[in-house]
Structure 1
């Protein structure tokens, strides 16, 4: 019986693949049979990701997606793609009254402009195959809730959700699907190593999640669904991954 969740013979690009969710997405999609192309700014950490992938013709590309020359070279170097996972992103917590244009520009440049403009370049260079699946990493903070101190981050993710719907409509004639996953709190190295909150504060926050915090594999598995033919009739959605947080 055919497995509709298989990624066999699919070529997939994962941005932000040097750590966290991006790294796990690269590992998990390769495990499902995909040929994975990974990109990030940090050469050493990206090499670590590459070494964790199962045997295959996987490739890595060092690029800062906020720099036009880097994205041009990346787009030129890539083969035609069947999947694209846009995981690169940054977070900066700041009370709204201290928000300024410099900080807002930095967040929007990385979290919104860079992934959107990369898609545009790949389309112009005919690097997205028919039936390609594009998956943004969004957040419950851009779609479903507000959180104090997260105004800039939420704005960048909300912009993705709005833009995604239009891209999905425009690319539908080519059967290219455009979706996002919107996770709540996920255990990543960044969360584990944070000094912004005490262990007691983190435990209190996790208690608000009926199923507890998520794992990076939970997000990667949802992305596999959106990349696979199992979701060939799904486009323009935000797939909520929050352990029941927002149903309360």
Structure 2
């Protein structure tokens, strides 16, 4: 019997592949047989991850997804795709009264707008094949408020709403669209948000499973959503929280 979780024969684009969750998803997909196309802004880090991929036929394309020119060049170089995972994103911790126009623009442009415009470009260029799978890395922050996290939470909420509409539009072509909504995952992103290692160590003990997630935890769920094993799953947002109800 064929393995329904295999990604053999599939070509998967992973954005934000140069670190954290994007890195883990790229490596996991390659180990499951996919030809992975890495994209991100940091060429040096992409090179390092590219060297960690399994199998043949993988590609690395450097691009800034907030640049219209880079997006056009990226889409023009892409092969036909069987899956896309949108991992590119930034965090932000800022009290609501301190938010400035540039803060909103920076977070929304990277976490929401760049994903929407790349997806539109891929569809216009007919790069996504029938029966493909699209996965957005959203966040539990969209439905679990925390102080200082307003703009980040809003960007992920917008992404979830967009993905649900996209799922309806692409259903006639059997293209599936789903979101993964992790709680805290141990990456550089949360440290850049102003939390110390001591903060993290104490806070994760409040989780029922007594730890934060790892990038690999998210990667394995992404593999499932990209595989034929999830063929009847679309328009869903999967919480991945270690049992926690709050971030």
Given the two structures, how large is their TM-score scaled by the length of structure 1?
0.96
Q: Would you say the 8 A contact 2:93–2:194 is kept in 1?
A: no
Alignment correspondent of 2:195: 197
CA offset at residue 100 of structure 1? 1.5
> Number of aligned pairs?
246
3-state SS in 2 of match to 1:246: coil
1:209-220 to 2 correspondences below 5 Å: 209-211=207-209, 212-220=211-219
1:55-66 to 2 correspondences below 5 Å: 55-66=55-66
1:78-157 to 2 correspondences below 5 Å: 78-142=78-142, 144-157=143-156
Alignment correspondent of 2:38: 38
CA offset at residue 194 of structure 1? 4.7
- Structure 1: give runs of 5+ residues left out of the alignment: none
CA offset at residue 188 of structure 1? 1.7
CA offset at residue 80 of structure 1? 0.7
Provide the rounded CA distance (Å) in 2 between the counterparts of 1:131 and 1:225: 15
Q: Would you say the 8 A contact 2:183–2:240 is kept in 1?
A: yes
Relative to structure 2, which stretch is displaced further, 205-214 or 33-42? 205-214
Q: Would you say the 8 A contact 2:84–2:134 is kept in 1?
A: yes
CA offset at residue 200 of structure 1? 2.9
- Structure 2: give runs of 5+ residues left out of the alignment: none
Alignment correspondent of 2:220: 221
Provide the rounded CA distance (Å) in 2 between the counterparts of 1:223 and 1:48: 21
CA offset at residue 54 of structure 1? 1.1
- Residues 161-205 of structure 1 show CA distances to partners (whole Å, capped at 9, x for unaligned) of 1111111001000000110100011112444x5582333321221
Provide the rounded CA distance (Å) in 1 between the counterparts of 2:57 and 2:231: 25
Q: Would you say the 8 A contact 2:15–2:38 is kept in 1?
A: yes
1:11-50 to 2 correspondences below 5 Å: 11-50=11-50
Given the two structures, how large is their TM-score scaled by the length of structure 2?
0.96
Provide the rounded CA distance (Å) in 2 between the counterparts of 1:240 and 1:232: 19
Provide the rounded CA distance (Å) in 2 between the counterparts of 1:18 and 1:73: 19
Q: Would you say the 8 A contact 2:63–2:71 is kept in 1?
A: yes
Alignment correspondent of 1:163: 162
Alignment correspondent of 1:236: 235
Relative to structure 2, which stretch is displaced further, 194-203 or 68-77? 194-203
- Supply the RMSD in Å over aligned alpha carbons: 1.4
Provide the rounded CA distance (Å) in 2 between the counterparts of 1:228 and 1:88: 21
- Residues 43-90 of structure 1 show CA distances to partners (whole Å, capped at 9, x for unaligned) of 000000100001311100010000000001101110110000000000
CA offset at residue 116 of structure 1? 1.0
Provide the rounded CA distance (Å) in 2 between the counterparts of 1:190 and 1:204: 18
Change (3 A) 1:190 1:145: closer
1:176 aligns with 2:182: no
